[in-house]
């Protein structure tokens, strides 16, 4: 069916997710960097509905939306570490927290980036910190004492949440705030260090300084 292809964009947290998952499973793929200001025919043909990255091309079959792609990778290539838990209840809990990250946490984090007034910035900061405290508790519940949300290895929630860590660091620098706090979220501090230093992650996680320069051009 031909080599796997991933259409992505370096600063997109969504676009690094399939790259992490494929590397975890030791699956080779070809990466295409997309220019979102002049979208390629390949992207528009592969994702005509949303016209967004990422897209996974398995031969001539496109799979869109990052969380859908993660589930596809896990089901299509069963060798190597599992991304989603095998137990139905644990799988449901992982999907719940991934949905929380996508909905509530992402909304708060992007609010910090896009807020125009000091009041809006303060509100987004409060929501982000509240979300991180919930995710601190979820780490204990999902990970069951392991190093990651997936237990001893990186799993579905780790990839979903961890893909934002470059932007978390960038927003800490830009806003002169501490989001991952050693006192309030010590578990997340250790988890973030382990996640970002993992072999499957470190080569695709964008540097905070580059994200700040990108944000200044796009959002500020």
Question: For the domain bounded by 88-218, which CATH number is listed?
Answer: 1.20.1050.10
Q: CATH 3.40.30.10 residue ranges in the chain?
A: 5-76
Q: What is the pLDDT of residues 21-57, one digit of tens each?
A: 999 999 999 999 999 999 999 999 999 999 999 999 9
Sheet holding 61-64, edge to edge: 30-33, 5-8, 55-58, 61-64
Q: What is the pLDDT of residues 62-101, one digit of tens each?
A: 999 999 999 999 999 998 899 999 999 999 999 999 999 9
Q: Is the dihedral of CA 73, 16, 193, 110 positive or negative?
A: negative
Stated pTM of the model: 0.96
Rounded to an integer, the average pLDDT of 152-156 is: 97
- pLDDT at site 109: 96
Rounded to an integer, the average pLDDT of 93-117 is: 96
Question: For the domain bounded by 5-76, which CATH number is listed?
Answer: 3.40.30.10
Quick one: pLDDT band at residue 176, thresholds 50, 70, 90?
Answer: very high
Q: CATH 1.20.1050.10 residue ranges in the chain?
A: 88-218
Residue 83 · residue 156 · CB < 8 Å = yes
């Amino acid at each position: 069916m031909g080599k796997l292809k991933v259409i992505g964009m370096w600063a997109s947290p969504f676009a690094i997710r399939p790259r992490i998952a494929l590397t975890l499973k030791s699956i080779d793929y070809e990466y295409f960097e997309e220019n979102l200001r002049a979208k390629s025919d390949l992207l528009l043909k592969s994702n005509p509905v949303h016209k967004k990255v990422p897209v996974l091309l398995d031969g001539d079959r496109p799979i869109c939306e990052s969380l859908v792609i993660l589930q596809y990778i896990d089901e299509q290539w069963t060798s190597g570490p599992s991304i989603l838990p095998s137990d139905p209840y644990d799988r449901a809990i992982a999907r719940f927290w991934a949905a929380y990250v996508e909905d509530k946490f992402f909304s708060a984090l992007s609010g910090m980036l896009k807020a125009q007034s000091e009041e809006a910035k303060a509100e987004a900061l409060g929501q982000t910190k509240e979300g991180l405290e919930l995710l601190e508790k979820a780490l204990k519940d999902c990970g069951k004492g392991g190093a990651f949300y997936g237990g001893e290895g990186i799993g579905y929630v780790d990839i979903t949440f961890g893909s934002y860590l470059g932007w978390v660091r960038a927003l800490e620098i830009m806003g002169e705030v501490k989001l991952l706090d050693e006192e309030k979220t010590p578990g997340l501090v250790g988890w973030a260090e382990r996640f970002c230093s993992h072999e499957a992650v470190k080569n695709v996680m964008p540097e905070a300084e580059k994200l700040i320069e990108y944000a200044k051009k796009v959002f500020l």
